[in-house]
Chain A
């Protein structure tokens, strides 16, 4: 297995180098034979990576502790699912997974039916192969996954218990798919620039791949938040940790691209800006990896004992400089076809503001993340930049973004007249103001909550109008029934209405965030068995404390009977788990979820005499966050799904085909 694993890695590296060289030779000499050989090489590289990943999975699954990686991240009593999930628990394994996805995407593009005969394919493959070679060099010479120990340990060190959660099986995978996915639009952009061609096809394909990467990034972030919420016992879901920020920044810039590309599509403008956003998103994924694997910033997520960050920083530097060089060399061509705006108040302008806020938000996250380093370099004083900073700085920016999101759908392309504005916005404005007044009357008086919910009401109404107007217009012409008209309206313009579903999902998420951030209630109480604690409408009675063993782990748990307004909801068991192979215990939260709020119960400490201390939280509207997340996923899938009515991506008709 040692030989097979290492052979797969070094052969993969050799094949990647060969494919890159032969593809470049094919492009240069215009010989399809060489390009075909390069494409075969791409497939071979993918097979090599798949073999290496399969070998590591086999070693992890069969607990072969003589391998350093297996020894460091697993133990024999670990359930099989977590043994295999240890593939992404450490540095080298996670990089192997990254390489696997990268080579998978490369092979998908090289052999895509839609891309058949497209002269961009050899360029895209070559650019992605450069990435692959970098990862293979790291896997082959810096973070080797198949290093063997001099002895055979009887038992492994085990997996960090925090990672032993179903959410952690899926969260890193989706995040990596998103991270790696952003390399694809980058490769498309570079290929288009090199070929001096940025037509409709380029836009459609790039946008599609960006949505895929964006969807996975979104899923990764949401699942990470959900894991933090149930596993860390802190009651929150987003801590603005450097690593979380690292995945949020490309998400913001990719979102900006998905909007601004519409202006390019419609008006043939902002080409340089769009390419810049793609380069930026890609660079931010590498920057994030640098943060996680360099140890320059303190993070609970960071990989221990890692010096890999510098390699990523250097690679990022090379990639960005190279990309900017290509961009500058084609600048005159991109600039030549620039169109014009006709009004300050138009959909185009709102997209520009949306881009300003999204990129501004990304910059604020970036600045906050690196500020400890800046402060240390400038003053020699370390500072911590944590939740209060990011919440304070991001709240107005993100609220502004929600407002633009609410206004944009009803603005017309090119120019919105005063009549148009009045017709579209009078009713939503009145209803939002009425809603805000009602909230204040009902006792919701925190400024952020009132303004935030007011904007969200506005958003719901404008989006409802979009659907209403569409259905009405369709029915006027086709006399269809409302459900049929709605269905056909949406399926005929998947991107538009998928986008609206995403917007509504984001509004739901925002409602959850505003509610849980502003109206959470928390108490901490030490109770004797039989005693109760009251918090809002709940009475929680502490029944008993007990202990049980599961494998090598000891679990201390408390039975809590929960009543709401006198009605018994059941017995809940918050736990504290002491791991046989890990120093730190972890909290297993007991959760009573409803659409209105979560009752969040944590067993904190206890005494010999049976008294125990509990942290009880009421987190309002958390479920809205998860419902919104599901809607975001549904909307994204709806937008990229190739339905029966969907326009088929146009066949490539761009620059003259030489090799493909």
Chain B
């Protein structure tokens, strides 16, 4: 009898667990998580076109008419198992690159990403060469005494300002 009771109890427990899991799963299905990191990774790639100037992740639905439908589409694609790159390619194919919040890292758009660093690199090399020209010849002339004197620059500044002050007092 005790065994039967224990068996029934276990069955009830499994049943309850299944029910809870089911309810939880249903709840998750009904309420899409528009703030999950996965959704953020997908939705923040796309610019909202309602004029809010934000991406579809950030756009608050009450103020925007089209983000609601767009978000629902994104969720359905994610449920189909499409990853963020596939979803991006789908929309770029349909609506063009303008839909993205940032240019693609290929083709002509790659220049958008590369040029600033290329410019800094080029200018940096120029500065290095200029510095080398300025330094060459001069660097060897400085003596260790000169270097030591410069190291105590703060003390020198303070001393000179105190001397100035004293001079103003008495002269």
Q: Identify which of residues 97-154 in chain B touch chain A, using a CB-to-CB cut-off of 8 Å.
A: 97-103, 108-109, 112-113, 115-117, 119-120, 123-124, 127, 131-132, 134-135, 138-139, 141-142, 146-148, 150-151, 153-154
Known: A343-B139, A415-B150. A383 touches B97 (CB 8 A): yes
Check if A353 sits within 8 Å of B127, measured CB to CB.
yes
Check if A473 sits within 8 Å of B154, measured CB to CB.
yes
Chain A positions within 8 Å of B165 at CB level: 492, 645
Q: Residue A412 contacts which of B98, B102, B151 (CB distance < 8 angstroms)?
A: B151
* Chain A interfacial residues counted at CB < 8 A: 74
Check if B116 sits within 8 Å of A364, measured CB to CB.
yes
Mark B145-171 against chain A: 1 for CB-CB distance below 8 A, else 0: 011101101110111011001000000
Q: Smallest Cβ distance from B135 to chain A, in angstroms?
A: 5
Check if B151 sits within 8 Å of A420, measured CB to CB.
yes
Interface size class, chain B: 35 or more
Complex-state Cα separation, A413 to B44, whole angstroms: 47
Q: Smallest Cβ distance from A358 to chain B, in angstroms?
A: 11
Known: A381-B96, A383-B100, A388-B44. A356 touches B127 (CB 8 A): yes
Known: A233-B60, A477-B162. A342 touches B35 (CB 8 A): no
Check if B55 sits within 8 Å of A387, measured CB to CB.
yes
The number of inter-chain residue pairs (CB within 8 angstroms) is: 177
B53 within 8 A of A: yes
Mark B32-56 against chain A: 1 for CB-CB distance below 8 A, else 0: 0111000010001101000111110
Check if B153 sits within 8 Å of A360, measured CB to CB.
no
Q: Residue B102 contacts which of A236, A239, A389, A473 (CB distance < 8 angstroms)?
A: A389
B81 within 8 A of A: no
Segment among A4-12, A429-437, A584-592 that sits at the interface with chain B: A584-592
A207 within 8 A of B: no
Mark A379-391 against chain B: 1 for CB-CB distance below 8 A, else 0: 1011111111100
Check if B112 sits within 8 Å of A385, measured CB to CB.
yes
Known: A417-B147, A604-B61. A343 touches B135 (CB 8 A): yes
Check if B96 sits within 8 Å of A356, measured CB to CB.
no
Check if B112 sits within 8 Å of A371, measured CB to CB.
yes
Q: Identify which of residues 462-496 in chain A touch chain B, using a CB-to-CB cut-off of 8 Å.
A: 466, 469-470, 473-474, 476-478, 489, 492-493
Complex-state Cα separation, A375 to B89, whole angstroms: 19
CB nearest to A417 among chain B residues: B147
Chain A positions within 8 Å of B99 at CB level: 384
Check if A356 sits within 8 Å of B123, measured CB to CB.
yes
Known: A393-B116, A415-B142. A493 touches B54 (CB 8 A): no
Q: What is the interface of chain A mostly: helix, strand, loop, or mixed?
A: mixed
Complex-state Cα separation, A434 to B138, whole angstroms: 39
A399 within 8 A of B: no
Complex-state Cα separation, A379 to B110, whole angstroms: 13
Check if B116 sits within 8 Å of A239, measured CB to CB.
no
CB nearest to A521 among chain B residues: B35
B93 within 8 A of A: no
Complex-state Cα separation, A187 to B57, whole angstroms: 46
B residues in contact (CB < 8 Å) with A: 31, 33-35, 40, 44-45, 47, 51-55, 58, 60-63, 96-103, 108-109, 112-113, 115-117, 119-120, 123-124, 127, 131-132, 134-135, 138-139, 141-142, 146-148, 150-151, 153-155, 157-159, 161-162, 165
A residues in contact (CB < 8 Å) with B: 233-236, 239, 241, 298-300, 340-344, 349, 352-353, 356-357, 359-360, 363-364, 367-368, 371, 375, 378-379, 381-389, 392-393, 397, 412-415, 417, 419-420, 466, 469-470, 473-474, 476-478, 489, 492-493, 522-524, 526, 576, 584-587, 602, 604-605, 613, 615, 645
